[in-house]
Structure 1
Amino acid sequence: MAEAIQGPGMLWVTSRIATSSKDILDENTFLRWYDDDHIAEIVRCSGTKDAFRYVHVNKESALGSEAVPKPFLAFYPMPDLRFTQGDEFKQIRVRSDILPGSGIIYDLADIDVGYLGLIEKSECHKKKEPAQYMLTFAIEPASKTSDDKVNKFCNEVQFYLSDLEYLIAKCAQQMAIISKAPGYLRSLRFRLLYARTNAQSRALKGLPTTNEPNPEPPTWLAVHEFSSEPSTEIKRSMEQDQNDVLKRAKQKEIDIYRLAKVHGNGKFFE
């Protein structure tokens, strides 16, 4: 069940061209719809003036792959997620003349949407433009892991960042490693409030749909911004972290994305 969808946060949207559409929808057309039609309409709305489109650095195909199921990422920072509950948001079009066939994006692509509430962000004095790369770490802790324990883990890591001697002694701490990596800018942390796939999105738009259960993606997301591509060693250190919270997690996803397009004012909780 969704938590209260309100307060600062963002829509986090990952997607791929559906296998059933591969013969009629090419990648260039899909991205032209995203940039020239869909995102352009969204940033004209009153609830958000910023949007970003990234692509996974290990993208193999616009159809996705086993390693990277949904290679395209778009996200929309909002001062108040309550905007997504109003009529203006619900009237955003999902049909376009740019698209082939029915012109309905949910007939042509597989799209996952997460409503993410902002928990905290680190300070950054080096960032002067949108991050060229993002390393993301998503986790769903074990069912008996309390929010307090997750917060304690995150807060302890943040404390280690301020102490260089302790950082060296505890180099296995993932955040300590990340913060010292070349090109590191800052980190933001979010909590999942609600998620939907095509089935729920079709219902939101009044389209015929199926009785598909709501998705259950990871419940916490950390976004680490970089001015240059993070090394494979950083990602490997995160994957091998032996912290108890991470070892017992139900889900753990680590990804790196490259900036493709900035829309609107280009502000990400600056």
Structure 2
Amino acid sequence: MAQNIKGPGMLWVTGNISKHAANLLDEDTFLRWYDDDHIAEIVATSGIPSAFRCLHVDRASPLGTPECPKPYLAFYPMPDLAFTQGQEFKGIRVKSDILPGSGIVYDMADLDVGYYGLVGKTPLGPAQFFVVSAIEPPSDAMDEEVNQFFDQQAATMSKTENYQRSLRFRLLYARTNAQSRALKGLPTTDDAPAPEPPTWMQVYEFSAEPSSNVRAAIKSDSHELLKKARQNEANAFRLAKPHGEAKFFEE
């Protein structure tokens, strides 16, 4: 695991129910595990006081679709990501009586986990929806260029109806289902390469669902940096349930 995982940031977990588990695990059970078991345990730890579970606004199937492969999102803000390197974090259970079969979530769902460090934020606003703009800039792009790009994008987004604020993050580490299993001491034979999610991510908070034109504008941005960007994503999520203190880097 990367050695620079520290400072304020969050775990960002997107997922879907695995196709091979479609006849075993239904959405209601999966979400009950998240709310009543998994997240409840997480926010009871000493290092993760808040959690937010969201649903993609384009969600059409719990198994995911080509247009929306990962319909579920859970993110966990924390004052210091170094907490994820300790035994308390590693001891969080991933097996539950709520889940069918083996009871191990990694046997039932495909989960992508990113560790994101907080880069900056604007003043607080209550959020019910999140629009996520994520990019992988060209390899020769300087951090200053990326920050200037997001500053410009944020200035435009701030004029959008129901906009509340923005938060900026940079990827520190990402892990696959197989790596998650290894972290928990579970057997794995999956040799899949490590995931490569976009390095930079800006989260925009809205008090009501933003128009689909907001995401379209992000995707069609003609900014010079995006002409060579290796990834440019725009997704929107609805807050389904907050947990714990329900604070997302609030003062």
1:132 aligns with 2:128: yes
Instruction: Give distance in 2, aligned partners of 1:91 and 1:223.
Output: 29
- Aligned counterpart, 2:90: 90
Q: Specify the alignment match of 1:182 in structure 2.
A: 161
**Paired residue for 1:144?**
140
2:106 counterpart of 1:106: yes
Report SS of the residue matched to 2:58. Answer: coil
* Residues 241-250 or 26-35, more deviating: 241-250
Q: Distance in 2 between matches of 1:240 and 1:154?
A: 15
Match of 1:200 in 2: 179
User: Structure 1, residues 148-191: CA drift from partner, whole Å, max 9, x if none?
Assistant: 22123234x2xxxxxxxxxxxxxxxx433311111100000000
Cα distance in 2 for partners of 1:233, 1:226 equals 14
Pick closer, same or farther for the CA change 1:221–1:98 going to 2, 3 Å: same
Rounded Cα–Cα distance in structure 2 between residues aligned with 1:84 and 1:175: 30
Offset from partner CA, 1:1-25 (integer Å, 9 cap, x none): 7350000000000010000000010
Aligned length: 249
- How far apart, CA to CA, are the structure 1 residues paired with 2:82 and 2:233? 27
For the pair shown, the structure with the greater C-alpha radius of gyration is 1
RMSD of the TM alignment (CA)? 1.1
Contact 1:3 1:194 in 2 (8 A): no
- Normalising by the residue count of structure 2, what TM-score does the alignment of the two structures yield? 0.96
For 2:178 and 2:220, locate their aligned partners in 1 and report how far apart those are by CA, in whole Å: 35
CA contact (8 A) 1:189 1:222 kept: yes
Report the Cα distance in structure 2 between the residues aligned to 1:134 and 1:59, rounded to whole angstroms.
Answer: 14
Match of 2:206 in 1: 226
Runs of 4+ more than 3 Å apart: none
Distance 1:152 1:176, change over 3 A: closer
CA distance, structure 1, for counterparts of residue 113 and residue 204 of structure 2? 20
Residue identity (%): 61
1:236 aligns with 2:216: yes
- Deviation (angstroms), 1:115: 0.2
Which amino acid is the alignment partner of residue 122 of structure 1? T
Distance 2:228 2:113 in 1: 25
Aligned-pair CA distance for 1:81: 0.3
Residue pair 1:177, 1:234 contacting (<8 A) in 2 also: no
Q: Shift in Å at residue 213 of structure 1?
A: 2.0
Q: Specify the SS of the correspondent of 2:168.
A: strand
Write the distance in 2 (CA, Å) between the matches of 1:93 and 1:253.
Answer: 31
1:163 aligned partner:
none
Residue matched to 2:80 = 80
Give the letter aligned to residue 172 of structure 2. L
1:102-155 superposed Cα distances (whole Å, 9 cap, x missing partner):
00000000000000000000123xx2x4x1100000100011212222123234
- In structure 1, what is the Cα distance between the partners aligned to 2:155 and 2:115? 28
Write out per-residue CA displacement over residues 211-240 of structure 1, whole angstroms, 9 at most, x where no aligned residue: 332111100010000000111222221111
Question: What CA distance in whole angstroms lies between the structure 1 residues aligned with 2:12 and 2:243?
Answer: 15
- 1:27 to partner: Cα distance: 0.3
The CA deviation at 1:202 is 0.5
Query: In the alignment, which residue of structure 1 is the partner of 2:14?
Result: 14
Which moved further from structure 2: 237-246 or 6-15? 237-246
Structure 1-normalised TM-score?
Answer: 0.90
